[in-house]
Structure 1
Amino acid sequence: MMKSTSTKYGTVAVTIHWISALVIFVLLVSGFRAGSLTNGADKADILSLHVPLGLTILLLTVLRVAWWVLADKKPISQSSDPAWQTFSAKAVHVIFYIVIFGMAASGIGLIALSGAGAVLFGGGDGTLPNFHDYLPRTPHGIGARLMVLLIVAHAGAALYHHFIKKDGLIWRMWFGSKG
């Protein structure tokens, strides 16, 4: 089933979710790794993967929003969670979107202002700029750290539902008919 039902997310939503999760994980690892490197060639190698993946997560997020607005409806909440937990879950999801769009904007701004795109994609003199000299670097770094916190909260809540509450909630965002 491509579209969601009242109790389970559809294949399109599940696929976008898990591809996004994988891409965000690679982005975080590559971004923190690049930030720790001093060797420009090594940093450029990592950023030549990081930048296209950043654009990929932007496109996936736009696709996800368009999917929900134009084509599908989210399943009805099956949880008997207290109101504060329901609010927290919704807030985390909204903040995910804000951080993803903010990270994309700051990343694009950083590459555009610094001129690093020429170095990363076959031009320039091969020397990367000092990204700390450019204003978008600060919100990009803050966003990355916030993304880690959001992932911990999101995954923690999913694991809580799966192992403590044992309510089958995690199966709503997986492939197949289990749940």
Structure 2
Amino acid sequence: MKSSPTKYGSVAVTIHWLSAVAILAMLGSGFRAASMTDSAAKEAILMFHVPLGITIFVLTILRLFWWWRVDQKPSPVAGDPAWQTLSAKAIHVLFYVVILGMVASGIGTIVLSGAGGILFGAETGPLPDFSEFLPRVPHGLGARLMVALFLLHAGAALYHHFIKGDGLIWRMWFGSHDKGTRS
């Protein structure tokens, strides 16, 4: 369950991949909802988007708690230049900052717009124009930053796997692997 010096444990791996899938679904639903003009269709998407945001928040808090109180991360990859190690740490920290900022701006947008009742099924009616509420701006910027972080993170993992061939990608997967082959 816990991580070793060379590999993430099953709890960290599970939280990572659940978060990754949820974030991709969140980004897709958010960009889709932002481009819609039909209030009923937007409402249907946001009724998925908002609870998914809460799920991502819970997974993020769980992950932070896991690292803080229970587990330790594996050591950085030996032989990587210092700038790559620093970049990896910075991207991971930015992921947490952006996720928490997205949660705060999403909650702020819902509260200020009064759309919570509609999105949680307690009320009916057309959705407000979210662009009229200040937290919507950082929410949209955060989504774009999240896409950039996701591409950098995935690109680095693929670089390690296919270019360097160092088996790094297997550190964040289930079971034991030796440079890409099952052991």
Name the TM-score class by shorter chain.
Answer: over 0.9
Aligned to 1:139: 138
Q: Is 1:14 aligned with 2:4?
A: no
In 1, the alpha carbon distance for the partners of 2:168 and 2:124 equals 52
Does the residue aligned with 1:103 lie in a helix, a strand or coil? helix
Does the residue aligned with 1:78 lie in a helix, a strand or coil? coil
- Residue 145 of structure 1: CA displacement? 0.1
In 1, the alpha carbon distance for the partners of 2:38 and 2:44 equals 10
Q: Is 1:23 aligned with 2:19?
A: no
In 2, the alpha carbon distance for the partners of 1:45 and 1:138 equals 22
Aligned to 2:2: 3
- Residue 112 of structure 1: CA displacement? 0.8
- Residue 141 of structure 1: CA displacement? 0.1
> Equivalent residues in 2 for 1:97-176 (5 A)?
97-176=96-175
> Equivalent residues in 2 for 1:59-98 (5 A)?
59-98=58-97
Could you tell me the percent identity over the aligned residues? 66
- Residue 82 of structure 1: CA displacement? 1.1
Structure 1, gaps ≥5 residues long: none
- Residue 80 of structure 1: CA displacement? 1.2
CA RMSD of aligned residues (A): 0.8
In 2, the alpha carbon distance for the partners of 1:90 and 1:122 equals 40
In 2, the alpha carbon distance for the partners of 1:57 and 1:72 equals 20
- Residue 131 of structure 1: CA displacement? 0.1
In 1, the alpha carbon distance for the partners of 2:31 and 2:121 equals 23
- Residue 123 of structure 1: CA displacement? 2.9
In 1, the alpha carbon distance for the partners of 2:14 and 2:123 equals 37
Aligned to 2:48: 49
* Aligned residue identity for 1:5: S
- Residue 78 of structure 1: CA displacement? 2.5
- Residue 60 of structure 1: CA displacement? 0.3
Structure 1 ranges of 4+ moved more than 4 A: none
Aligned to 1:35: 34
Does the residue aligned with 1:37 lie in a helix, a strand or coil? coil
* Aligned residue identity for 2:30: G
Q: Can you list the C-alpha shifts for 1:48-89, whole angstroms capped at 9, x where unaligned?
A: 000000010001000000000000001112331111111111
- Residue 6 of structure 1: CA displacement? 1.1
* Aligned residue identity for 1:37: M
* Aligned residue identity for 1:79: A
* Aligned residue identity for 1:21: A
- Residue 45 of structure 1: CA displacement? 0.1
- Residue 126 of structure 1: CA displacement? 1.6
- Residue 137 of structure 1: CA displacement? 0.2
